[in-house]
């Protein structure tokens, strides 16, 4: 028993007050205090129910942990319950992180032991299952249901979400006798043994986070090669300038050494100055020749050499490498003139690109027969071209349709698209780089459908087709 008389001030941190707790956010209302390394709830002793006093010493009942004496009475220290078991299961469901078999063994074992401990009190115990700060399930008396009934509801919820068949069968057997505490007491050891054989107990994980959706990832893999090209161009340009500057310094030192007279007394100061001026002028002319762009071997070497940043996904050519790869710097005046001349051409090209891709849905009638991906093709254009190829396969009675459909999925795709309408409107839904999803508008006998396309061996192919209300099939 602890004392809070005048000598308590000599022990720093003893039952230090933290904050006030109120229901329903806490199992009991009281003061949250520090009790050594743990946190407890301090409540006036006369407000603690008899069932809580009787639960003292129980492992899975929220009974009295200790008593604190004050000048005008006594207080009881109770376990600090931070969250209900129902709230934890709800959070795990939202985060798509169901209980593991080991966590299931820990939770169900605690519930069964709590039912047996409540039965030993000799009177019905009503309340809810909570979790302490160390993730230990305890039954706290108060508003709620009988301990056995509350335990059965939680076990049924865990069983419905369980993916392990063996654990599910054991939980079903436990539910058949959970309502009778005497049956639970007789079969407790056997049920616990069966659960432990299926999975080793693991502590309950309270920190869970929902998975990150692919559509919420800001960086798209299609932009990575282009960004790498910009970085490579900056590095190569800086390396080129540094190398040219080092060559210039070496040539200046060599020229000065050659022109230095054997004895300074034999030559006048005026001739020395003329020689230095001539050497500097020669170095400037040499630097200009080194930096001046040439139309011969250097340009051909740069255009013909492979680029690290250029990949097949870029859909680029040698001209693209000339624009993004290593280039020979031009003199200041020539560079400014070149930028002015190229600006209108770039504006015209950008206008043409913006005009080619619009916000309107793409009709499936256009497109070429070749299914190799183009660097400038949008997801809608690829889907339109594939639908046109599928229509051609249907017209030719080609039941395999290797040019447009993934192997093994031709029969399902042709059946769901038949009769194939090449003029259906297409709206993009998701673009993951090598996988795309588009929505096909209503047409004839078909309602809205989802078309899944994938890129295999540098070719776009149809993988699946399903109605908007259906789920994707396992074909492909």
pLDDT of residue 40 exceeding 90: no
pLDDT of residue 72 exceeding 90: no
Residues 6+ apart with CB under 8 A from 342: none
CATH number given to 1-206 = 1.10.510.10
H helices of 357-472, where?
379-395, 410-417
Please report, in angstroms and rounded to a whole number, the separation of the first and last CA atoms in the chain: 70
Show me where the domains of the chain are located: 1-206, 222-260+283-337, 362-467
pLDDT band at 237 (very low <50, low <70, confident <90, very high): low
Distance CA 252, CA 255 (A): 5
Point out which residues pair with 197 in neighbouring strands. Answer: none
pLDDT of residue 21 exceeding 50: yes
pLDDT of residue 298 exceeding 50: no
CB of 135 closer than 8 Å to CB of 72: no
Q: How does 247-256 read in b/e, with b if 16+ C-beta sit within 10 Å?
A: ebeebbeebe
CATH number given to 362-467 = 3.10.450
pLDDT band at 417 (very low <50, low <70, confident <90, very high): confident
Is 362-467 in the same CATH topology as 1-206?
Answer: no
User: What global pTM score does this model have?
Assistant: 0.44
Say what the pLDDT of residue 108 is. 93
Per-residue pLDDT tens over the stretch 123-136: 788 899 999 888 89
CB of 199 closer than 8 Å to CB of 104: yes
Say what the pLDDT of residue 230 is. 57
With residue 73 as reference, give the H or E element that holds it.
strand 73-79
Distance CA 159, CA 276 (A): 93
Q: How does 277-286 read in b/e, with b if 16+ C-beta sit within 10 Å?
A: eebeeebeee
Query: How confident is the model over 290-310, as a mean pLDDT?
Result: 47
Please give the share of the chain, as a percent, with pLDDT higher than 70. Answer: 67
Distance CA 318, CA 160 (A): 60
Say what the pLDDT of residue 171 is. 92
Nearest to 151 by CA among 189, 179, 192: 179
Say what the pLDDT of residue 443 is. 80
pLDDT of residue 14 exceeding 70: no
pLDDT of residue 225 exceeding 70: no
Q: Which of 66-75, 315-324, 432-441, 460-469 has the lowest mean pLDDT?
A: 315-324
């Amino acid at each position: 028993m602890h004392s809070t008389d005048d000598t308590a001030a000599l022990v720093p941190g003893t039952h230090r007050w933290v904050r006030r707790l109120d229901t329903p956010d806490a199992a009991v209302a009281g003061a949250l205090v520090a009790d050594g390394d743990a946190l407890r709830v301090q409540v006036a002793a006369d407000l603690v129910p008899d069932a809580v006093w009787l639960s003292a010493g129980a492992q899975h009942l929220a009974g009295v942990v200790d008593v604190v004496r004050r000048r005008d009475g006594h207080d009881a220290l109770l376990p600090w319950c931070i969250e209900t078991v129902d709230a934890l299961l709800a959070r795990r469901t939202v985060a798509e992180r169901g209980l593991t078999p080991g966590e299931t063994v820990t939770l169900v074992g605690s519930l069964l032991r709590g039912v047996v401990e409540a039965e030993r009190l000799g009177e019905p115990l009503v309340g809810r299952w909570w979790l302490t700060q160390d993730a230990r399930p305890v039954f706290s008396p108060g508003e709620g249901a009988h301990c056995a009934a509350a335990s059965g509801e939680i076990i049924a919820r865990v069983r419905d979400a369980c993916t392990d068949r063996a654990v599910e069968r054991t939980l079903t057997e436990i539910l058949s006798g959970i309502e009778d505490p005497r049956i639970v007491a007789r079969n407790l050891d056997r049920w616990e043994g069966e659960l432990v054989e299926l999975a080793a107990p693991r502590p309950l994980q309270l920190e869970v986070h929902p998975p990150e959706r692919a559509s919420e990832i800001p960086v798209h893999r299609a932009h990575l090669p282009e960004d790498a090209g910009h970085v490579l161009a900056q590095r190569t340009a800086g390396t080129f300038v540094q190398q040219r500057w080092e060559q210039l310094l070496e040539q200046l030192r060599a020229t000065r050494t050659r022109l230095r007279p054997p004895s300074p007394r034999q030559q006048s100061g005026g001739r020395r100055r003329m020689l230095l001026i001539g050497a500097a002028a020669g170095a400037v002319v040499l630097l200009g020749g080194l930096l001046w762009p040439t139309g011969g071997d250097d340009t051909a070497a740069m255009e013909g050499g492979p680029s690290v940043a250029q990949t097949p996904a870029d859909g680029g050519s040698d001209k693209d490498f000339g624009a993004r790869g290593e280039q020979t710097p031009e003199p200041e005046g020539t560079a400014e003139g070149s930028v002015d001349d190229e600006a209108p051409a770039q504006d015209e090209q950008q206008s043409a690109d913006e005009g080619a891709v619009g916000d309107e849905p793409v009709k499936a009638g256009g497109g070429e027969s070749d299914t190799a991906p183009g660097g400038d093709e949008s997801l809608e254009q690829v889907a339109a071209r594939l639908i046109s190829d599928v229509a051609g396969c249907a017209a030719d009675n080609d039941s395999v349709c290797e040019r447009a459909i993934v192997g093994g999925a031709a029969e399902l795709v042709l059946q769901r698209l038949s009769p194939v309408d090449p003029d259906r409107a297409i709206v993009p839904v998701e673009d993951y780089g090598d996988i795309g999803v588009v929505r096909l508008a209503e047409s004839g006998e078909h309602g809205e459908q989802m078309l899944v396309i994938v890129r295999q061996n540098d070719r776009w192919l149809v993988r699946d087709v399903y109605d908007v209300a259906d789920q994707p099939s396992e074909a492909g």
